[in-house]
Chains A and B, each alone.
Chain A
Amino acid sequence: MAYRRILITVTWVALSCTEATSAPALTPNQKRLNIESFELIWSTIRDQYWDPDFGGVNWQAVHDELRPKIEGAASMSDARAVMSDMMDRLGKSHFGLIPAEVYEDLDAKGGEGTAGLEVRILDGRAIVTSVEEGSPAASEGVHAGWEIRRVEGTALAPSLDKISAHYRDATTQELYLARSVLAKLSGDPGSAVHVEFLDGARRRVSKTLTRIQPQGTPAKFGYLPTIHVWFRTSRPAEDTGYIAFNFFLDPAHLMTEFGDALGKCAACPGVVIDLRGNPGGLGIMALGMAGWFIEKPDQRLGTMHMRQAPIKFTVNPRRPAYRGRVAMLVDACSASTSEIFAGGMKDLGRARIFGTRTAGAALPSAIDRLPNGDAFQHAIADYVSEGGRPLEGIGVIPDVEVKLTREALLAGRDPVLEAAIEWIHARR
């Protein structure tokens, strides 16, 4: 699941920055386990990579070249470098090694408590983009537009700089940056977090925020941890509907609420679907939602290419279809199913996209444990949006690029939503 994947990736990045530089010698048993791990990675990719030609890479030759190197690896660091090198040969994202010590940490139960803040990195700074009503942050007077400088006395800037450098060429850079800050703010419900802000006047303000349970309904899906899913609908302007939700999960409730919200706005000239910050979830939910906007049969959001066969993301039209304008809001934290939904609707000419480029992280992936205790992440499919472009590493490019600014947030404005509403009303 994208959500889990993102968290894992972020934490890994953060921790790997502090990895010890010493390289203790390996025992014979550790060497054997590293070789077994190498073989497991190689054979898993051989058997499951969606392209049997491996994009032109001679996969057997990669094995034969690197096998002596893994056999000769004198330290865990060396062994991991060999295995990472093997995966890098594919030149694809979503393939990576997660060191055992990091994996153990990730596997531990993390706190789900929240201070009630949403954060984005704007011009290199961690800026509060929204404050949840009734949250500890709201009670303490925190405002959208404030900058977060320190969490628990530790400055954010060095950590953000490292992550920025590591992902300087990746579309996922902003996603990981934002998630790293949110991870620092989260913890067990009832626990406190000390945060230093710069307020609207750029004065230092320190707040102690007691974390609470996140908003929404607890939803369980398979072995995923319980995730709180919320759905919001409103009328931000006359005759304009607004729909937002934080995950593509809990379909039994969310799909019903989505349909009901559209039904109540059937006569509206336009609807805004806000996918900013939505990390994805069940891909099939994007198809189900698209069905309310598509009347023509045999329309597709895109195609998922797997080893066994391609899966067409075909939309099943629903009646009555919503015929008004559809504006979709996205940002760098819109990932996975959000990108499939927005990208497909754009390609079908059924929605206009506002905001900033999405995360470019649409591939489904799995994380498997290795014999040596490490884990490795591997994508199991490729996805191409209906317009013919892959989303991975590219993302959905908005039709209308609108960036949030600290100044607009401090003024209580949402320029992305404003642009969408203006477009809907321009039709009149």
Chain B
Amino acid sequence: MDSRPEVRAVAGTPGLVERIPMRTTRRLLPVVLLTGLVGSYVAAAEDQPPKAEEVLDKFVEATGGKATYEKIHSEKFSGTFEFAGKGIKGAITSYRAEPNNTYTSVELEGIGTIEEGTSGEVAWTRSGLQGPRIKEGDERAASMRQATLRAPLEWRKLYKQAETTGVENVEDQACYKVVLTPNEGKPETHFYDKKTNLLVKVTLTVNTPMGEIPTETLLRDYTEQDGLRSPHKIEQKAMGQEFVISIDKLEYNIDIPKDRFALPADIQALLPK
């Protein structure tokens, strides 16, 4: 088995409103990008799929290339968040900045505002429903991985192993199935379309205080912005529920107020003295 760490992909969150995945897409993409370097993809026999590195490299190329990713220092997106078939929806806004600062707010009708963020070594979440909470263990590790702005280019730091385990259809499209094992947490499985080289599906188990939640995320509507292609529709299923994030506006390298990533007072109050 290849001992080198390999590409990663992050995915959002579980079916609980609390852990709403925001940058799912964004992170997934970056993850893959990491592959970067490696040489050209060599057509492999169906019974011998390409190595994970090759698959991941192809993804980076398909979405804009390593150099383009390296030009990105911050991003902001806004859109809608909807629980499919439930009539519950709202607005989502997310900010990211290097190296691993994030802030996401989801305002859901009938529920209120749910916020998540990472700053320094702290990953946190807060809502009127549950109050403030600092993430720990695997949950924190997952958030910090997802927060890494150019994760695809740093995958060796984030994942200790990546392996292509076969070919599997996702909605009638043949995909390479790549299993990524993070340094902390359970393996994630990514599916890359054989024709487009795009990441189209991720399955993983999200660790939360409510237990280990298996999730399945579909990535759709890849759209180019400033040379990078990223999915603008993310569908995630968890525990019999499905929610959809639709990105309406995506901006890179914008000025983000410094205090955007400051820890809220009630989160600071939870930190060890």
Contacts and interface: CB of A to CB of B under 8 A. Distances in A.
Interface string A262-299: 00000000000000000000101101100100000010
A288 B129 CA distance: 5
B86 A223 contact: yes
Contacts of B39: none
A67 interface: no
Contacts of A316: 130-131, 133, 209
Interface stretch (A103-111, A162-170, A251-259, A394-402): A251-259
Contacts of B87: 222-224
Nearest to A306: B239
A309 interface: yes
B240 A380 contact: yes
A314 interface: yes
Interface stretch (B5-13, B107-115, B188-196): B107-115
B128 A251 contact: yes
Which size class do B's interface residues fall under? 20 to 34
Contacts of A285: 129
A243 B66 CA distance: 58
B122 interface: no
A7 interface: no
A110 B176 CA distance: 53
A318 B131 CA distance: 6
B88 A222 contact: yes
B72 interface: no
Given A48-B240, A221-B110, A284-B16, A251 B129 contact: yes
Contacts of B44: none
A222 B211 contact: no
A219 interface: yes
Contacts of A237: none
Nearest to A256: B128
Nearest to B107: A252
A221 B210 CA distance: 23
Contacts of A307: 240
A220 interface: yes
Interface string A307-350: 11111111010110000000000000000000000000000000
A222 B239 contact: no
Contact of A251 (B112, B132, B210): B112
A224 B86 CA distance: 9
A420 B17 CA distance: 35
Nearest to A320: B269
B263 interface: no
B187 interface: no
Nearest to B83: A222
A284 B110 contact: no
B128 A255 contact: yes
Interface of A: 48, 219-224, 249-252, 255-256, 282, 284-285, 287-288, 291, 298, 306-314, 316, 318-319, 380
7 contacts: A222-B87, A251-B112, A252-B113, A288-B128, A291-B131, A308-B214, A312-B210
Interface of B: 16-18, 83, 86-88, 109-113, 128-133, 209-214, 238-240, 266, 269-270
Given A252-B111, A291-B130, A310-B211, 9 more contacts: A48-B240, A221-B88, A222-B88, A251-B111, A251-B128, A252-B128, A255-B129, A284-B130, A380-B240
